[in-house]
Each structure stands twice: as structure tokens, then as C-alpha cells.
Structure 1
């Protein structure tokens, strides 16, 4: 590693190099979807991204013979320290992510730099990769390299798994995504469960009201924080993050694809679905200008997409593990399925991610005949 030099990102030129590197390293991968550079820049901007209000981040670049050959982010999330260790985070836990490397020697130098930074900050354990938080792109893809990722899911070289494990990292948790055919009805049992719910006067499944978007967003994130509060890896979403994410998501939230379930007039569950924007932005090669933004705006106004993604779903904690929770989930899935097929031309959907030990959600996924199509691993290592 003597010819590899790892330095902290300190200048605008460094920051640009950090953002630009993956476009060169992944250029030959037919299934890598270049993210919009403007989005990556905003993710890393402490003045815009409220993650920085409770986290400290340091970016690193690796160079060989003056050429940038790798990158990594090291970070500490102070909110994560307040959570019980048995939930995955806890005191002394740091993270790294946004990893790209030309070869294994570069990977070793980058990971060592991130570990040294975390150790100097008093961290005693690493949970990685997270890019940047558990709510962004968590985990390393280890299964499902043969197809494009959907919106807000990562894709990486299959070489990375051996490189990480060779540095002493062991799997802490596996995250699963499920592939589902939506242009055909669900199994008869699910149809009966939905029909039964439709006859129950206590249940109402409604579309989101975009004329009250702030209130609806607050409601959704309140349910989410409650529903996921005991999940492994959970870190609460702050009020600042709710405002930030809501504003960013507003243009691509469609009322018929965001359903809220009410029980006895009380909102108790939600399900959010996005048309897969990755199919639109893939040819952009990371750039919106000069003309790509016009194409994107036209698509956003009336999105047609054969592929959908269900990134978030939650049922309030007091209902979890009940028959009612499953019935509400099936009803929301079915209502969104109908809308996505009719209004967006949907044929398939990806559900997830789902923790590998979340038996409730895995049972729901199995019941609608969906199959695991991608696996992501979050690793851990003591420092």
C-alpha cells in the first residue's frame, strides 16, 4: 500500500473528485445506475442535509500516482448512540460508507483510514457500509447483481464482499428486497382478506391528501418512527429531517400511491410506493443539464413505469403481530397495486428492504407470492 495515499477531503476539487469517482469505476457495469450528481452533492452538504445536525462526517480520497482511485466516508451519528446496543447501534458505534475502490489494496487503505478516524473519535465498533445513514443506502449488495437497482437502492461491485470480509468484517444483519408481479391479481386467500376488510366499517384505506401535504407527511413519519422504533438499526427521524425529506419527496409522491389506513377513525398504518425513476435517469450519466431536467420533469408530471418500489410501510406498534395489522397491510398493497397498474402501467414491484429476521413482513411478502431478488449485508467489526 506504500504507493497509495489516503487524504481527507478538504477542498472543492477534492469534493468534486469524491463525487465523480464512481462514474469512472462503475462505467463498465451494465446494471449500475449513475445517481444525479446534484443529489449526491446535496447529500454531502452540511448546510442542506439535516443528518449533519446530529452526525459528524469525514470524507477520504485514495490516490495512486496522483490519480484518484478510491473513496470512503467515515461518520458518527450521535442519535444512534442513544439506542440500545441490542438494536444494532448504541454507544461507541461508528460507521463508514460511500465506498468505491479500484482494487483490494486501495480498499484496505481506505478502510484503515476510516477506522483510524473513528477510533480517534472514541468509537469502539464499526457498523458498515451506511451511505450515509440507515435511511439512505444501507448495506453491501451480495446477491442480485444481474439487474438494475430501483430508486434509492444501492449497487456495487461483487468484488467488495471479499475485500470487506478480508479486513475482519462479519455480517451483522441481512436486508432483503422482494420482487413482485403486480399486473395480475393476488392469490385468492389475499383477495378474500381484502374483501373482508372492505366490509369492516372500522377500516378505511384512503389516499394521501396532497392539499394537506405537510400534515400528511408529519402523520406518515410519526407512524414510521413508532412502527420501526424497536427494529434493528433504527435511528429516529428528526423534525428537521421530516421537513427536508418531505420537501424532496413532494414532487414524486402521488396520492394513490401513498395510502393511509385508519382504524376507528385513527390513522394506524401507511404504505408508500414510488414509480422507478432509475429507469429515467440511467441514461443521464449523473447530469441534469442542459436538457435532461426537461425529460425528468415531464416524466414526474405523469410517470409511466413498468417497475415500482415500496420503500416504506409501517403499522403502529400496538397493532403489530395482530391479524388486523396483516389485513391492513394486504389492503394497502392491493389498493396501490390496482392504481399502479391502471395509472402507471406497472408490471412488477420491488418491496423492501426487509430485515431477514422480520418474520411478520416476510410472511406478508411470501403470502403475495413475491420472491427475494436482492440481498444486502451490513457488517460489523470491533475497533
Structure 2
């Protein structure tokens, strides 16, 4: 195995390799190629302050693996291993790490984290259970052997998440159970849905982001234009009323709630072409809704704001008639949903300390 830093002319081969390795999965949703090319090519906002080096591994003349060594100076001690794709051979990852590790250590990294494509605001984590389930949009998806490859070279889990699937009647039961606590939280808080056409929506969310994601593994502050580049397209998936904030009695924004329609099939059909994004607008309502973000500032996390977000979303989705609901990527420190259902998917982020 021989690994080398990719050149500018290698970008297409780097992007194509993931499709060659992972494309046999009929559930795979190809990422948007232009968005990945901008990040890897150093022409998106991250390039103003961060560093990224793409790495390719060859077995003779055949490309067999890829990754990116990523250093975000706003997470100075973390060396990220992102954009990972590999055949089922531990020597591939070993070879790429032999190149990535000294490059990251020279920039101050004291541990490697992966897979992570630049921070918690970009794709990260590996799916470790639930491969038979039809993925929802933005769910981590990878071949089942990827976790084994990371563990074979010394990585160990640093954080876990789960996703839960609910039929409407189970959501109704959950809502009935949490309603008293949500009602108590509502005495000092209010749900403020956003008008999605308001040009200030993303700016308002960005102002709150650093506070609600404080302490989230892999999170570092990002500039407004990077936030817009990462999240602006999500608004095309959000039905009216399903994105908003929780305001306290003083009118301060203290929590975020976001749910979106699962358009995984439509995005899969784009085959990575961003020009088709939003083509589902005006189509019938999606079958499945994804409850994705329920995040509060630290001082409000024990005040019931999360329950208020869940209660609000549950009321809307029961009214609107969604057939299925996924509560997505719930951190292991939040046990609420496990009281009502067993998780159907699990995910892991890995870490490897550097000597």
C-alpha cells in the first residue's frame, strides 16, 4: 500500500472513489458533488482559517482508499480524519494514517477523531447498527466494515448516538406523557416558529448556534457564510412551522427546534447533482418526518425546553398526518426517547490519542 497527498488534478478521482466503493448499497444517498469539491478544493469558507489535505492510497495502480487530514484551528488539539472511504483492508487506513498523523501532529493535534469532515456541522460519525433500515436524509451511511477498520488501527468510540422510529400513535402516547412537563416549561417560555421566507432566519439561527452547541463533541464556532453554505439548503426541506426557537420570558432565544421532511429518495435520484436540489417543492407531503435538532443553551437544559420542542413538533406532525417519524441522532446522554421505543440505528464517533 502506498499513500500520498492528492494533487489538484486528483480531485475527480478522489470524489469518484467513494461511489466505486460504496455505490453497491442501494440505500446510499450520494453527497452533493459540488459542495464536497468546494470544501476539498479549498474554495469554501472553511479555507479562510482551516487546513485540509486530501490523501489517496494505492495498491499498485489501483486506488483503494481515501481520506482527508483536516485541522480546524478553532479545535486546535483535534486532528480530524474525514472523507473516509476504503476497501475492506486495514492496511489501507494504516497507510493513510502514516501520512495524516505527522501532518496533523505538526499543527498541534493531540488526538485523532473520525470520521469527521471538518466539524460537527459537517458529516461525521459511522453507522454501526441499522444497516437494514432505509436511511433518512443526512443520516450517516457507510459499509458495515468501516467501524472494524477504525478499531483495527486503535481507534475507540468517544461518543454514541441513536435514532428512533415512531408510528403516529406512539408519538401521541409520548406527547401525552410529556405534556405536563411541557406545560410547566411553557409558563416561562414560548415557541416562536420562523417564517422560512424571512431573510434573517439563518442569521438568527447562527447567533444562537454557538450557545446551544456548546460542549457538543467536535463542534467549533463557524462564520456566518460557512453556516449558510452548510445549512441554507435545509430550509428547502422544512414544512411551515417546523423550524423555530424557544424564547424565554425576556424574549431571548434560548433553544432551537428543527424538523424536516425526509426526501432521501429524491436526493438519491439527483446522483450528487446539486442543480436538482429543491425539485420536490410543490410535491405531495413526504411520508416520513425527521425530528433532527432539539438544542438549548446550557443554562436552559434543565428547564424543559427540549420537551417543549418535542411537544410542539408532535402536535404539528399529528395534525399534518405524517405516516412515520424518525427522531434522529439522539445523544447517549438523552434517555427520553428510549423510554418509549428501542433505538433502530446506532452511530459512533471514534478517537485515537496521539503519543
TM-score (norm 2): 0.87
Distance in 2, matches of 1:255 and 1:249, equals 13
The answer (yes or no) to whether the contact 2:191–2:309 under 8 Å persists in 1 is no
Residue in 1 that maps onto 2:94: 108
**Deviation sequence 1:65-110 (CA, Å, 0-9, x none):** 32222111111111112xxxxxxxxxx3211111111231323222
Range with greater deviation from structure 2 (113-122 or 146-155): 113-122
Unaligned runs of 5+ in 1: 82-91
Residue in 1 that maps onto 2:57: 62
The answer (yes or no) to whether the contact 2:71–2:80 under 8 Å persists in 1 is yes
Residue in 2 that maps onto 1:41: 37
**Deviation sequence 1:246-297 (CA, Å, 0-9, x none):** 54334334432213323324433221112112121223433467xxx2xx54
- Shift, 1:375, TM fit: 1.7
- Shift, 1:298, TM fit: 3.5
SS at match of 2:172: coil
2:335 pairs, out of 358, 362, 368, with 362
- Shift, 1:221, TM fit: 2.9
Unaligned runs of 5+ in 2: none
Residue in 1 that maps onto 2:301: 320
Q: 1:191 to 1:244 in 2, by over 3 A?
A: same
Distance in 1, matches of 2:164 and 2:209, equals 20
Residue in 2 that maps onto 1:186: 173
Residue in 2 that maps onto 1:89: none
2:151 pairs, out of 165, 169, 177, with 165
- Shift, 1:192, TM fit: 4.8
Distance in 1, matches of 2:101 and 2:274, equals 35
1:152-301 superposed matches below 5 A: 152-182=138-168, 185-187=172-174, 188-193=176-181, 196=183, 202-214=188-200, 216-264=201-249, 265-287=251-273, 293=276, 297-301=278-282
Distance in 1, matches of 2:98 and 2:313, equals 44
SS at match of 1:130: coil
Residue in 2 that maps onto 1:337: 317
> How many residue pairs are counted as aligned between the two chains?
350
Distance in 2, matches of 1:119 and 1:266, equals 41
Residue in 2 that maps onto 1:86: none
- Shift, 1:123, TM fit: 2.6
Residue in 1 that maps onto 2:20: 24
The answer (yes or no) to whether the contact 2:127–2:347 under 8 Å persists in 1 is yes
Q: 1:205 to 1:140 in 2, by over 3 A?
A: same
Corresponding position: 1:304 with 2:285: yes
Residue in 2 that maps onto 1:88: none
The answer (yes or no) to whether the contact 2:288–2:325 under 8 Å persists in 1 is yes
The answer (yes or no) to whether the contact 2:237–2:263 under 8 Å persists in 1 is no
Distance in 2, matches of 1:271 and 1:20, equals 35
Distance in 1, matches of 2:129 and 2:225, equals 34
1:151 pairs, out of 137, 145, 155, with 137
Distance in 2, matches of 1:221 and 1:186, equals 34
- Shift, 1:203, TM fit: 4.2
2:345 pairs, out of 358, 369, 374, with 374
- Shift, 1:327, TM fit: 4.0
Q: 1:326 to 1:63 in 2, by over 3 A?
A: closer
Distance in 2, matches of 1:303 and 1:370, equals 29
The answer (yes or no) to whether the contact 1:98–1:132 under 8 Å persists in 2 is no
Corresponding position: 1:353 with 2:329: yes
The answer (yes or no) to whether the contact 1:33–1:148 under 8 Å persists in 2 is no
Distance in 2, matches of 1:62 and 1:303, equals 45
Distance in 2, matches of 1:5 and 1:350, equals 42
